[in-house]
Structure 1
Amino acid sequence: MAVVGKLISSPRGATYYWVERHADADAPCIVFTHGIAVNHHAFDKQVPYFGRDYTVLTWDIPLHGRSRAYQDFSYAHAAEELEAILQRERLSRVILVGVGIGGYVCQEYTAQHPEKVQAFIGVGVMPFGDQYYSAAEMRQMRRVPMSVKRLPEHLLHTSLARARGQSSYGYHNALAMIEQMPKREIVQVFRDTFEDRFTRREAIDFTCPVLLIVGALDYEGKFAEYCRKWSEQSGYPMHVISAAAHNANADNFDEFNDVVGKFLRRKVLR
């Protein structure tokens, strides 16, 4: 039976989420946070797998999926919406899994509520913190929305989907979500998310276990490059998922689920 979506409201708009409770009320909770221009269905291959041992929460972050009627986006506001969801569901501690810009939301949430985060898993995620980027690189990232705006809608949809999925499932999973958004909304998403990217200038000091993951075929911008740099400078372990692009969790879900499951059994369920 499909889980019915719920919502929380703020003056900025409604944010939709889905939660599957484990029979054990004390089971840890995993929050899956998707990347740009997709939605909670990016984790369709994770929900049943991790639902065996965890309570699983997915959501459409502001400007995405069913949460698209949203004003004044920022990562801080997105983190506030997530905290409102967790309070509504009485979930006091969570494992955060974020893909792409979803990893920015997870980092911001950790900055606001470090005591509530049991572990962080970043998938194709770039770190907060100016020390990782040159001024030229930051200027280049701020120009990305203009590049997106130049593409015709069909080419925009297919190129974004191909960057996220190289397997048949990964590509079609991404395309089905991306095609729900007209070009003007995708351009707005890129503009709003990239404009807020450098608001928090310091790196996040994680006090919980961290795992960084990249797809071996992730050529989306420089996510993989900066994820590797983050691992090298911080000492956080990084795992490369074979035969996977940016949405490694969908492109090679068997390997992804196995890697994450083993990490959490060592670090959270022990």
Structure 2
Amino acid sequence: MNEKIYKTQSGCIHYWINLGQDPEKATLIFLPGLTADHRLFDKQIEFFEGIYNVFVWDAPGHAKSWPFEFNFSLSDKAKWLDDILSLENIRYPVIIGQSMGGYVGQAYAELFPNKLKGFISIDSAPLQRKYVTGIELWLLKKMEPVYRFYPWKSLLKTGTNGVATSEYGRKLMHDIMMIYDGDQKRYAKIAGHGFRILAEAMETNLPYRINCPAQLICGEKDHAGSCIRYNNAWHKNTGIPIAWIKNAGHNSNTDAPEEVNSLIEKLINKI
């Protein structure tokens, strides 16, 4: 994987890419969730690198993509992603987004409906307004102080044990969170801003249709918010296939990497 940097007016985005395969083949675009970084997809990169073209980033403000001004929207993230894909001449993107990464993927599908060749949601949820209540939207906009004043040791424990069930998944998330050890203010800003722009994207009431082959993936033990309820409704309303990952939490791609990799491969074969 080659590390590269894309400069925006708000800051620099670091991303890792390997385009060693046929450019006519799919490029797997891995987008980590809120507060996570590119390492979240280590097991996927390890498996798919050398088979497909692969891409993963540290989202704006996260990990190495810092410093960064928090003056951007979810659509801005999708536009920056498209700028990078265009710069790298990636013509067949398949977005694989975990949690917040799945929301970025839906924003991308809304802005560039003819570019996206495949979409996989891992423990994410639909971006349409109809799926959330007014109270949920209000709470999403008020999360920064919660993360800022929550005791760091307790937050570290919740942020690791609460998103993964496996020893590997928990250790990985612990290592990722430790980037912000001693700078809880930055961690709170990343989380608070992320939830706020998510709520604002929902409030636009755009259709956010997925017009390409798609797959929903959700851990059976995903207790992050109402993720299980959202995914049940998403599957029921759209008919997008859903796979429930046994004994996996919110980061199901770290708890059951072989099973998730198999599902990714199946979708690519359909494309």
Fold conserved (TM > 0.5)? yes
- Cα distance per residue 1:112-140 (max 9 Å; x no partner): 11111001101111211111122223223
Q: Using structure 1 for the length normalisation, give the TM-score.
A: 0.93
Q: Does the alignment pair 1:183 with 2:187?
A: no
Q: Give yes or no for contact 1:103–1:126 (8 Å, CA) kept in 2.
A: yes
One of 252, 259, 262 as aligned partner of 2:263: 259
Q: Counterpart of 2:110?
A: 111
Q: Does the alignment pair 1:213 with 2:221?
A: no
Residue 57 of structure 1 aligns to a residue whose secondary structure is strand
Residue 180 of structure 1 aligns to a residue whose secondary structure is helix
Amino acid at match of 2:228: A
Q: Counterpart of 2:47?
A: 49
Q: How many Å separate the matches in 1 of 2:187 and 2:143?
A: 12
Q: How many residues align?
A: 265
Within 5 Å, give how 1:16-35 maps onto structure 2. 16-35=14-33
More deviation, 166-175/79-88: 79-88
- Cα distance per residue 1:63-121 (max 9 Å; x no partner): 11111211113211111221121112111220000011111111111111111100110
Q: Which runs of 4+ in 1 moved over 6 A?
A: none
Deviation at residue 53 of structure 1 after TM alignment = 2.5
More deviation, 200-209/56-65: 200-209
- Cα distance per residue 1:135-193 (max 9 Å; x no partner): 22322333433432331112212211112211010101111111102311111012111
Q: How many Å separate the matches in 1 of 2:59 and 2:169?
A: 20
Give the superposed CA RMSD: 1.5
Q: Counterpart of 1:245?
A: 249
Q: Give yes or no for contact 1:125–1:224 (8 Å, CA) kept in 2.
A: no
Deviation at residue 26 of structure 1 after TM alignment = 2.1
Segments of structure 2 that go 5 or more residues without pairing to the other structure are none
Amino acid at match of 1:190: A
Q: Give yes or no for contact 2:147–2:192 (8 Å, CA) kept in 1.
A: no
Q: Using structure 2 for the length normalisation, give the TM-score.
A: 0.93
Q: Does the alignment pair 1:234 with 2:230?
A: no
Q: Counterpart of 1:86?
A: 85
Q: Give yes or no for contact 1:127–1:203 (8 Å, CA) kept in 2.
A: no
Q: Counterpart of 2:147?
A: 148
Q: How many Å separate the matches in 2 of 1:23 and 1:117?
A: 19
Deviation at residue 44 of structure 1 after TM alignment = 0.4
Q: How many Å separate the matches in 2 of 1:9 and 1:160?
A: 30
Residue 114 of structure 2 aligns to a residue whose secondary structure is helix
Segments of structure 1 that go 5 or more residues without pairing to the other structure are none
% of aligned pairs identical?
A: 26
Q: Give yes or no for contact 1:74–1:192 (8 Å, CA) kept in 2.
A: no
